[in-house]
C-alpha cells in the first residue's frame, strides 16, 4: 500500500489489453504473473487494513491492464469484491487504469455504480507517428474523446504519458504535455521508456532499430514538462516506473529505469532555476543558496553534481547550500 496516497494496489497484468504495445510486458513491470481475481482483491484489502492510519480511508486501485476492456462479468466480479468495503465504510473509492479506446457511456455508468471515482487513461503520446510506431492501436483523437467523456461523468481524470517511445523527440514530448494541459486532467503520471526483456522494443533495440532513451534523456525531457504541468495546476503523481525485484534484477535491460528518477528530475529542475539566479555573476565570486531543508538534497544534486556544475560553469570560488526561514529559494553573492 502507498502510505502517501493511501492506495491499495491490485494488478491485472495484460488483462483486457487488445494490443501488444512494443514496450510492454506488464507481468515484468508489475512483478506479478497471474491476473488478480476477486479473492486477491479481498486479500489485498484485509492485509492493508492494519496499515491504515486511524480515520484514513484508502482507495483500491486496479493497475496493470486495461480494466474496462476486460469482459464485463470480470469487471463486475472485481468491482463487487471492492464495493463491499466501500459499503462498510473502510474504502473511500476505487480507481482504474485503462485505454482511451475502451471507454464509453455504458462502461462509465458501470464504474460509477461500483464506487469508482478516478479513471486513469494511458495516452502515452498524442503524436500520431509515435502512437503508430509503438503499436498502441488508438489515435490521439481517441484520447481527447475519452478524456472529455470521463470528465463529463465527474470522474477524477489522470493521464499517463511516456517519453522516449519509438519516433519520439523532445519537441514531441513537450507538445504532448501541452496538449495534456489543454485536456486539464487532475493529475499525470510520466513513464519514460524502459527497455524490458521479452518485448518487441527489446528486439528492436538489440537489432539497432531503436535508440535507447537513457536516464539522462529522461531527466532532460521531464525537467521540461514537469514545470509545465505544475504551472497549469496538474499534479505530477509519479515520474518513472515503480521499482520491482524483476526490473531491478535485470529485466530492465536498458532505457530510463532508475529507482529515484523523480528525485533526479526535481534536482535538474532546481539546477536550471539556480543557473538563472546566477546569471551575470562575476568570476571568482562565492554563492550561498538558501532554501527549505526538504529541498537541500535536490539543490545539491547526487554526489554534489549540481554544485560542481554551477561552480565550474560560473567560475565560482565557493558554492554552498544553507537553510532559509521560509520556503523561498534565494542566493547570496559575495566577492
Q: Could you report the per-residue pLDDT of 241-292, keeping only the tens digit for each?
A: 988 888 888 899 999 999 999 999 999 999 999 999 999 999 999 999 999 9
Q: Which residue carries 534565494 as its cell?
A: 330
Report DSSP letters for 69-92, one per residue: GS-HHHHHHHHHHHHHHHHTTS--
Q: What angle do CA 64, 65, 68 make, to 5 degrees?
A: 135
What count of other Cβ atoms lies within 10 Å of the Cβ of residue 141? Answer: 12
User: Which of these, 28, 117, 123, 22, lies nearest to 66 by C-alpha position?
Assistant: 123
Q: Could you report the per-residue pLDDT of 175-201, keeping only the tens digit for each?
A: 999 999 999 999 999 999 999 998 999
**Between β-strands 187-192 and 156-163, what pairing exists: parallel, antiparallel or unpaired?**
parallel
Distance CA 150, CA 100 (A): 10
Residues 169-202 as b/e (b if ≥16 CB within 10 A, e otherwise) read: eeebbeebbebbbebebbbbbbbbbbbbbebbbb
Distance CA 23, CA 65 (A): 14
State the pLDDT at residue 53: 67
Distance CA 250, CA 5 (A): 28
Q: Could you report the per-residue pLDDT of 299-326, keeping only the tens digit for each?
A: 999 999 999 999 999 999 999 999 988 8
User: Which of these, 322, 320, 219, 235, lies nearest to 272 by C-alpha position?
Assistant: 219
**Under 8 Å between Cβ of 194 and 241:** yes
Question: pTM here?
Answer: 0.90
Distance CA 143, CA 146 (A): 5
State the pLDDT at residue 14: 57
What count of other Cβ atoms lies within 10 Å of the Cβ of residue 322? Answer: 12
Average model confidence (pLDDT) across the chain:
91
Banded model confidence at residue 16, pLDDT cuts 50, 70, 90:
low
Distance CA 55, CA 138 (A): 42
Distances (CA, A) of 78 to 34, 67, 74: 14, 10, 6
State the pLDDT at residue 31: 44
DSSP-H helix ranges across 207-304: 215-231, 245-246, 261-277, 296-300
Grid coordinates given for 105: 457511456
User: Which of these, 245, 272, 235, 289, lies nearest to 120 by C-alpha position?
Assistant: 235
DSSP-H helix ranges across 65-156: 72-87, 105-113, 128-133, 140-152
Banded model confidence at residue 30, pLDDT cuts 50, 70, 90:
very low
Amino acid at each position: 500500500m502507498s502510505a502517501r496516497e493511501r492506495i491499495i494496489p491490485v494488478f491485472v497484468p495484460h488483462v483486457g489489453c487488445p494490443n501488444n504495445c512494443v514496450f510492454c510486458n506488464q507481468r515484468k513491470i508489475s512483478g506479478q504473473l497471474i491476473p488478480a481475481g476477486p479473492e486477491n482483491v479481498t486479500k489485498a484489502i484485509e492485509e492493508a487494513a492494519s496499515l491504515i492510519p486511524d480515520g484514513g480511508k484508502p482507495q483500491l486501485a486496479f493497475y496493470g491492464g486495461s480494466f474496462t476492456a476486460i469482459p464485463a462479468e470480470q469487471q463486475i466480479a472485481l468491482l463487487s469484491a471492492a464495493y463491499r468495503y466501500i459499503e462498510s465504510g473502510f474504502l473511500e473509492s476505487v480507481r482504474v487504469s485503462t485505454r482511451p479506446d475502451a471507454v464509453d457511456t455504458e462502461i462509465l455508468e458501470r464504474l460509477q455504480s461500483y464506487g469508482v471515482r478516478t479513471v486513469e487513461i494511458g495516452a502515452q503520446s498524442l503524436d500520431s507517428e509515435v502512437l503508430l510506431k509503438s503499436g498502441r492501436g488508438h489515435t490521439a483523437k481517441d484520447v481527447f474523446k475519452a478524456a472529455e467523456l470521463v470528465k463529463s461523468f465527474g470522474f477524477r481524470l489522470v493521464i499517463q504519458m511516456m517519453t522516449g517511445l519509438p519516433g519520439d523527440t523532445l519537441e514531441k514530448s513537450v507538445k504532448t504535455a501541452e496538449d495534456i494541459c489543454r485536456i486539464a486532467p487532475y493529475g499525470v503520471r510520466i513513464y519514460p521508456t524502459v527497455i524490458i526483456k521479452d518485448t518487441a522494443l527489446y528486439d528492436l533495440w538489440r537489432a539497432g532499430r531503436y535508440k535507447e532513451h537513457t536516464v539522462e534523456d529522461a531527466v532532460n525531457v521531464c525537467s521540461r514538462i514537469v514545470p509545465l504541468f505544475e504551472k497549469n495546476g496538474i499534479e505530477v503523481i509519479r515520474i518513472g516506473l515503480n521499482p520491482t525485484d524483476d526490473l531491478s534484477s535485470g529485466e530492465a535491460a536498458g532505457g530510463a529505469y532508475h529507482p529515484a528518477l523523480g528525485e533526479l528530475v526535481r534536482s535538474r529542475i532546481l539546477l536550471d532555476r539556480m543557473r538563472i539566479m546566477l546569471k551575470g555573476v562575476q568570476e571568482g565570486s562565492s554563492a550561498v543558496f538558501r532554501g527549505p531543508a526538504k529541498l537541500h538534497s535536490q539543490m545539491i544534486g547526487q554526489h554534489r553534481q549540481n554544485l560542481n556544475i554551477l561552480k565550474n560553469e560560473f567560475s565560482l570560488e565557493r558554492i554552498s547550500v544553507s537553510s532559509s526561514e521560509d520556503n523561498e529559494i534565494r542566493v547570496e553573492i559575495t566577492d
